[in-house]
Amino acid sequence: MKQDYTLTVYAEDQVGLLSRIAIIFSRRKINIDSLNTCPSEIEGIHRFTILISETEEVVKKLCRQIEKQVEVLKAYFHTNNEIVWQELALFKLPTQQVAEKMIVERVLREYGARVVVIRNDYTIFESTGQTEETNKLIELFGNYGLIEFVRSARVAIIKASDGFHKKIKEFEASEPHELTAINEYLNEPDDVFTL
């Protein structure tokens, strides 16, 4: 059964890796619903958060193919139940409409939105939440002459008490994780090779 899966990929930061990861999906004609990439808390390591809708079997194979890329340390996948996830949205509305028609206080309280910018011509609201919550706001703001809207990719964090940080540290540690090869060079970071 197809459902939402959030893939979390830790990789060395290198030009071209995004393309290498993207073609793993496009080769199998799988659409990426959202993708976020940013530096992780570990130096030199980037974190990709990729949202797709697929079966577990396909997702498992995709993760193995992603891990096969030289620069990738680990790839994990989770269902929506296993993660806490959010997306950020920005809405630009005509200030006149906001001032005259909208009950701004209600919007801020009920939807947890914030006002970021107020100008004579427009006002920008920001909200953080899940897709449905953002969708509700789009609907609401539609009544007030929404000028422009944008939302970010999903970011997610796992619910399990030990997070990715520990797993990645284990991957890199001299005491090898059961998935990793023994590597004496990890005790000598100067000899660890990066381009």
Partner 1 sequence: MDTLQQNATIEQPADTAAGKKENKTVELTGAQAVIECLLTEGITTVFGYPGGAIMPVYDALYDYTDRIQHILVRHEQGSIHAAQGFASASGKTGVVFATSGPGATNLVTGLADAQIDSTPVVCITGQVFAHLLGTDAFQETDVINITAPITKWNYQVTDANEIPQALAKAFYIAGSGRPGPVLIDITKNAQVQKFEYEGYKRINHIRSYRPKPVVRKQYIEQAAELINNAKKPLVVFGQGVILGKAENEFKAFIEKANLPAAWTLMGLSAIPSDHPLNVGMLGMHGNYGPNVLTNECDVLIAVGMRFDDRVTGRLDKYAKQAKVIHLDIDPAEIDKNVKTTVPVWGDCKETLPMITELLEKKENPEWLAKFAEYRAEEERICIEPEKHPDSEIMSMAEVIEALNELTNGDAIIVTDVGQHQMVASRYAKFNHSKSSITSGGLGTMGFGLPAAIGASYGAPDRTVVAVVGDGGIQMTIQEMGTIMQFGAKVKILILNNEFLGMVRQWQQLFLDKRYSFVHITSPDFVMLAKSYGLEGNSIDKREDLKAALKTMLDHDGTYLLEVKVGKENNVFPMVPQGCSVSEIRLQ
Neighbours of 27 (CB within 10 A): 9
Is 170 a binding residue for partner 1 by CB under 8 A? The answer is no
Pairing status of strand 45-54 against strand 122-129? unpaired
Q: What is the DSSP string of 53-78?
A: EE-HHHHHHHHHHHHHSTTEEEEEEE
Query: Are residues 147 and 92 in contact, defined by beta-carbon separation less than 8 angstroms?
Result: yes
Question: Does residue 43 interact with partner 1 by CB under 8 A?
Answer: no
Judged by CB under 8 A, does residue 23 bind partner 1?
A: yes
Can you tell me which of 68, 106, 109, 165 binds partner 1, judged by CB under 8 A? 68
CB of 7 to partner 1, least distance (A): 15
The answer to whether 99 contacts partner 1 (rule: CB under 8 A) is no
Q: Give the Cα separation of 194 and 190 in Å (integer).
A: 10
Applying CB under 8 A, which of residues 2, 64, 114, 159 lies at the interface with partner 1? 64
For binding to partner 1 (CB under 8 A), which residues are involved? 11-12, 14-16, 19-20, 23, 27, 44, 60-61, 64-65, 67-68, 70-73, 172, 176, 178-183, 185-186, 191-195
